Amino acid sequence: MNLINRPMPKTTKTKTAAAALFWVALWFIASWSIGKELILPSPLAVLKALWGMLGQGAFWASIGMTVLRIMAGYLIGVAAGCLIAFACCTSGVLSALLSPVVKTVRATPVASFIILAMLWMSKGAVPMLMAALIVTPVVWGNLIEAYSSRDMDLDEMALAYRIGNRKWLRFVLIPQILPSLKAACLTGLGFAWKSGIAAEVLSQPKRAMGSNIYYSKVYLETPELFAWTAAVIVLSFLIEILVRRVLKREAGRED
């Protein structure tokens, strides 16, 4: 098989639906073979649990609060990542000062931060902080990389034609680093969502999807645990679609 110059294989809606059906069927077979709902509930049991939860106000309140906490943390993380990257790119002193901190945050296990944060702040603030701490190094790293690998010939052209800092920033630099920022925003979103839910599981704030996942585990309600997890996944997908649309619209404005 020739691997060179092959286009990316196309995924149609039919193929996606068939793939989803395949995995659900596999799940059904696995659950049926094990025969214990406590270990692996069937897709029908999970659907039933989810259906029951949909009618409860507490379910929607948990979703609302979780989205609020994680998205607030995510936005703070994106803003912090941009600001720190800007500081590092413009000042050697600030770069020497801030880069080791961001690298340390990036290397530290999220569980360590969650446990520390639980000692320092209210339960509700922990998921927000975790989302921000996870997103900041991703955005910072991508922006630093994009800035370092920008086309220096264009900078020389900008100098030769004396276009000034403002025009250089808007018309030369930002279009070059925007794709990296966009990629960082999308990657960071997935990380924020995962770390935020993990923080909720460990800190158990009121009205939180993570807390409900934890309680389902404690009370051995495996179908509910799966239902909450499914809700987390669906929400994560929906928010990713939303963020993609916002980024696409913003990129369109730049053009």
Partner 1 sequence: MKIEGLSFSYGDKVIFRDFTMESPSSVICIMGPSGCGKTTLLKILCGLLKAGSGKIEGIPEKCAMMFQEDRLLEWMNAHDNVALVTDSDPDPDRILRELGIEPEMQVKEMSGGMKRRVALARALAFRADALFLDEPFKGLDEDLMKKCAKIIAGCKKLTVVSTHSEAEAKALGAQILRLS
Binding site for partner 1 (CB under 8 A): 153-154, 156-157, 159-163, 167, 171-172, 175, 255
CB of 177 to partner 1, least distance (A): 12
Nearer to partner 1, 156 or 250 (CB): 156
Through-space distance between the first and last CA atoms of the chain, rounded to whole angstroms: 39
CB of 157 to partner 1, least distance (A): 4
Nearer to partner 1, 178 or 230 (CB): 178
Nearer to partner 1, 19 or 157 (CB): 157
**Contact present, 131 and 70 (Cβ < 8 Å):** yes
Nearer to partner 1, 36 or 253 (CB): 253
Nearer to partner 1, 39 or 157 (CB): 157
Taking the C-alpha atoms of residue 201 and residue 213, their distance in angstroms, rounded to an integer, is 7
Angle between helices 92-107 and 57-90 in degrees, nearest 10: 140
Structure tokens at 198: 């993990």
**Contact present, 80 and 132 (Cβ < 8 Å):** yes
3-state secondary structure of 234: helix
State phi, psi for 41 to the nearest 5 degrees. -70, 155
CB of 2 to partner 1, least distance (A): 28
Taking the C-alpha atoms of residue 150 and residue 184, their distance in angstroms, rounded to an integer, is 17
Structure tokens at 119: 């000692």
CB of 68 to partner 1, least distance (A): 36
Nearer to partner 1, 72 or 154 (CB): 154
CB of 25 to partner 1, least distance (A): 46
CB of 211 to partner 1, least distance (A): 46
**Contact present, 88 and 140 (Cβ < 8 Å):** yes
**Contact present, 103 and 133 (Cβ < 8 Å):** no
Taking the C-alpha atoms of residue 185 and residue 85, their distance in angstroms, rounded to an integer, is 14
